Chains A and B, each alone.
Chain A
Amino acid sequence: MSLYRDEGVVLRTQKLGEADRIITLLTRQHGRIRAVARGVRRTKSKFGARVEPFGHVDVQFFVKGSDFPGRGLPAITQVETLAAFGAPLVSDYAAYTAGTAMLETAERLTDHEGEPALQQYLLLIGALRTLAARAHEPALVLDAFLLRSLAVAGYAPSFGDCARCGLDGPHRFFSVPGGGAVCGDCRPAGSVVPSPETLDLLGALLTGDWAGADASETRYRREGSGLVAAYLQWHLERGIRSLRLVERSS
């Protein structure tokens, strides 16, 4: 029997039995972890409110053997809030839906439970903090997060040089299976021709050039979101359910 301590972000909760929940967290040291929180659905529970999605928490886990996460689900024995991102997000519907899509993506991009995913974890914390601060349009923060998450997972798209041969960009063509921007010689069948401004915007989001991204026009943001969604879909077996419900400016 051992105790483990880590910090993490609550990605998802599921009901278990009468009063318990299974909590899925992305933790700093142990990657994605599922654990049982007993009694949290009772109104008298002391830590029910802390283990809601978007909660950034310091958690103590209890496991039966000496492996973590080990066989069977660990139990959560203590939780302290580090940052409650939920409250600022639920009062802004666009931010809430964008944030939900981030949590779902972070869960899907961390394939194996217990496998450290520090970069993904830091990206998520940073994106939630940015979203909660309302410094930029929520859909832009989401797209920046999705692009960087894909990059961390090894699927970095190119928005400048040709993704196939490396020829200096910019290029007119964009291919989801081809890895992003492609030159006229390399372009696979089915390549699209997005606005150059859209590719500039996506490049700005990937590199963190917020001044450039904030100055972009709505039509390029929409086109960019479409490309990001298609790119994400291509690299994940199943789509991200909540992406369809993300509210974007019209």
Chain B
Amino acid sequence: MYEGAVQDLIDELGRLPGVGPKSAQRIAFHLLAADPADVRRLVNALVEVKDKVRFCTVCGNVAEADQCRICLDPRRDPSVICVVEESKDVVAVEKTREFRGRYHVLGGAISPIEGVGPDDLRIRELMTRLADGEVTELILATDPNLEGEATATYLARLCKPMGLKVTRLASGLPVGGDLEYADEVTLGRAFEGRRLLDV
């Protein structure tokens, strides 16, 4: 245990995701030794993010205005919505430059064991967006783990009566790897999602 301010900083850092007590201590002492101007910039960035950044009223992505940049962009296809768990997933899909539609950020995945049910996510907001018929395709891009799959199952069933085209991102083999090294769950999923080679 350290005294007062140093320990307070270690405690606060230790509450961040992925930061254990050892890392918290290392960061704290790095900051103590750092140039005051550098620390000031970090402090400002932290304050700004809380002051300026909000959540898009349409899709739930992080935004600096009432709506995010993607929802405000008239070149984005309004007939396709890609559903993701978190804002960081929007960034990941954007990097592929494959997708020209819009997003819907759920704010997590259904996790009964953590007490998170459908009502705790932005599912009602999604249904409202789908109500006017402008959207014709929904791409379910929740994480390829158990909770993400269960969330996709739930959404697919909920949207079924609406007559939308509902697709799920294929999950399968990592590009650049050898087949023999794939685990059986991933390989099984890749078999399920196989596509026709039209040559």
Partner of B112, one of A44, A47, A49, A97: A97
Would you give the shortest CB distance from A84 to chain B, in whole angstroms? 6
Q: Is the CB of B150 within 8 A of A242?
A: no
Q: Is the CB of B185 within 8 A of A81?
A: yes
Given A97-B112, A241-B114, A242-B115, decide whether A49 and B153 contact each other with a Cβ distance below 8 A: no
Give the total number of A-B pairs whose CB atoms are below 8 A apart.
72
Q: Would you call A53 an interface residue if the criterion is a C-beta within 8 Å of the partner chain's C-beta atoms?
A: yes
Give the nearest-CB partner of A101 in chain B.
B112
What separation, in Å, do the CA atoms of A97 and B184 have in the docked complex? 24
Q: Is the CB of A90 within 8 A of B146?
A: yes
Q: Would you call B133 an interface residue if the criterion is a C-beta within 8 Å of the partner chain's C-beta atoms?
A: no
Q: Would you call A46 an interface residue if the criterion is a C-beta within 8 Å of the partner chain's C-beta atoms?
A: yes
Q: Would you call B57 an interface residue if the criterion is a C-beta within 8 Å of the partner chain's C-beta atoms?
A: no
Please give, as numbers and ranges, the residues of chain B lying within 8 Å of A53 by CB-CB distance.
113, 146
Please give, as numbers and ranges, the residues of chain B lying within 8 Å of A91 by CB-CB distance.
149, 153
Would you give the shortest CB distance from A75 to chain B, in whole angstroms? 16
Given A12-B113, A17-B20, A244-B117, decide whether A84 and B150 contact each other with a Cβ distance below 8 A: no
Please give, as numbers and ranges, the residues of chain A lying within 8 Å of B146 by CB-CB distance.
52-54, 86, 90
Given A86-B146, A90-B149, A96-B150, decide whether A49 and B113 contact each other with a Cβ distance below 8 A: no
Q: Would you call B193 an interface residue if the criterion is a C-beta within 8 Å of the partner chain's C-beta atoms?
A: no
Please give, as numbers and ranges, the residues of chain B lying within 8 Å of A244 by CB-CB distance.
115, 117
Q: Mark A174-197, 1 if CB is under 8 A from B, else 0.
A: 000000000000000000000000
Would you give the shortest CB distance from B150 to chain A, in whole angstroms? 5
Please give, as numbers and ranges, the residues of chain A lying within 8 Å of B189 by CB-CB distance.
87
Q: Is the CB of B153 within 8 A of A50?
A: no
Partner of A49, one of B110, B115, B154, B183: B183
Partner of B153, one of A15, A93, A101: A93
Q: Would you call B186 an interface residue if the criterion is a C-beta within 8 Å of the partner chain's C-beta atoms?
A: yes
**Is chain A's interface secondary structure helix, strand, loop, or mixed overall?**
mixed
Partner of A96, one of B20, B114, B153, B185: B153
Q: Would you call B95 an interface residue if the criterion is a C-beta within 8 Å of the partner chain's C-beta atoms?
A: no
Q: Would you call B174 an interface residue if the criterion is a C-beta within 8 Å of the partner chain's C-beta atoms?
A: yes
Given A17-B18, A91-B153, decide whether A241 and B115 contact each other with a Cβ distance below 8 A: yes
Please give, as numbers and ranges, the residues of chain A lying within 8 Å of B177 by CB-CB distance.
44
- How many B residues face the partner with a CB closer than 8 A? 25
- How many A residues face the partner with a CB closer than 8 A? 33
Residues 75 to 104 of chain A near chain B (Cβ within 8 Å)? 81, 84, 86-87, 90-93, 96-97, 100-101, 103-104
Q: Is the CB of B113 within 8 A of A100?
A: yes
Q: Is the CB of B184 within 8 A of A241?
A: no
Partner of A50, one of B145, B181, B185: B185
Given A47-B183, A54-B146, A242-B113, decide whether A93 and B154 contact each other with a Cβ distance below 8 A: yes
Chain B residues at the A interface, C-beta cutoff of 8 Å: 17-18, 20, 110, 112-115, 117, 145-146, 149-150, 153-154, 157, 174, 177, 181, 183-186, 188-189
Would you mind naming 22 contact pairs between A and B with Cβ atoms under 8 Å apart?
A: A15-B17, A15-B18, A17-B18, A18-B18, A48-B183, A49-B186, A50-B185, A52-B145, A52-B146, A52-B185, A54-B146, A81-B183, A81-B184, A84-B185, A86-B146, A90-B146, A90-B153, A92-B153, A93-B153, A97-B112, A241-B115, A245-B115
Chain A residues at the B interface, C-beta cutoff of 8 Å: 12, 15, 17-18, 43-44, 46-50, 52-54, 81, 84, 86-87, 90-93, 96-97, 100-101, 103-104, 241-242, 244-246
Beyond A86-B185, A90-B150, A93-B157, list 10 extra A-B contacts (CB 8 Å): A12-B113, A43-B174, A44-B174, A49-B186, A84-B185, A84-B188, A86-B146, A90-B153, A93-B153, A100-B113
